[in-house]
Amino acid sequence: MESPVTFPVHGTQVVGILHTPDANTAKSPAVLMLHGFTATKTESHRIFVKTARALAKTGFVALRFDFRGWGDSGGESEESSISSMVEDVKAGTDFLLAHPNVDPSRLGYLGFSTGGAAAALAAGHDDRVRTVALWNAVADGGPIVQNLITVQRATAMATKGVVDYNGNRISRRFIMEFMTMKPVAALAKRPVPTLLIQAGKDPSVPAGQVDIYEQALAGKGVRCAKSILADADHVFSTSAWEQRVIEETVKWFEGLLAEKAGA
């Protein structure tokens, strides 16, 4: 079953789609899905829709939503920041765990690209999260920003406070927070079992970012699995890549959240 839902964050409406199992007679594990920069709750070639449906088919409740300023949610893109995204993650977590069919002891995050950074930042400070799956996730924002900001954009940011990024107005605050964020450090302080899926030919989030996560989690006493799709691009834009990513992700959450905490 799929239902449109809304919840407020500081008075702004956030819009999402809640996926629930067709036969839900008991408390179910849940996954909160976090889209990437300039994307929406569907993600490219609807990979988030397909993943949420696959999760629901295996007994999960899944919530995918648009961060404020993106998609159907309220606000404007220039009002978005890394801080606001993390606030939205917390609000989405509160909303999801309040659902009567969700077992609050079995929660996971799925984050894509910048959404993966938001997942790591939020999970690092929220003991309700038992596991995360990160797709092409940003571990350290500094090197990535340096590759994206042209001289023209830097000038616009300095003079106007916003830059035009493919038709999206992005604030100086977003850029500065992105540049200085280190999601890997937050996750390393509160390590949870982590699935890392990385495209080998990702021009947006270089493959070296996944190694940063793996190295930070090494020796932390938690399970960490890394899967590299050697020829894949940032959005896994073939049906074969898509299928593999979805299958590995669903299998990961089934393995980590199928049993109740302490069972």
Question: Is position 170 within any domain?
Answer: no
pLDDT in the model for residue 258: 83
Collect all residues with Cβ–Cβ distance below 8 Å to 151 and sequence separation of at least 6.
none
Question: Is position 156 within any domain?
Answer: no
Give which of 134, 136, 87 is closest to 253, Cα–Cα: 134
Question: Is position 202 within any domain?
Answer: yes
The sign of the CA dihedral 111, 116, 120, 122 is negative
Global confidence as pTM = 0.95
pLDDT over threshold 70, residue 151: no
Tabulate helix, strand, coil % of the chain (nearest 5). 40, 25, 35
**Helix (H) and strand (E) counts in the chain:** 9, 10
Question: Is position 168 within any domain?
Answer: no
- Is residue 61 within 8 Å of residue 18, measured between CB atoms? yes
Which residues span the domain enclosing 201? 2-140+182-257
The pLDDT tens digits of the residues spanning 194-242 come to 999 999 999 999 989 999 999 999 989 999 999 999 999 999 999 999 9
Question: Is position 165 within any domain?
Answer: no
DSSP letter assigned to residue 81: -
Give which of 138, 115, 119, 117 is closest to 130, Cα–Cα: 119
Q: How many domains does the chain have?
A: 1
- Interatomic CA distance for residues 89 and 107, integer angstroms: 13
Question: Is position 133 within any domain?
Answer: yes
Of the pLDDT bands very low, low, confident and very high (cuts 50, 70, 90), residue 159 is: confident
pLDDT in the model for residue 145: 80
**Domain at 32, CATH number:** 3.40.50.1820
pLDDT in the model for residue 23: 76
- Interatomic CA distance for residues 152 and 251, integer angstroms: 44
pLDDT in the model for residue 246: 98
Task: Burial-class residue 254 by CB neighbours within 10 Å (0-12, 13-18, 19+).
Answer: middle
Question: Is position 263 within any domain?
Answer: no
Give the residue with greater pLDDT, 148 vs 237.
237
Beta bridge partners of 28: 102
Question: Is position 50 within any domain?
Answer: yes
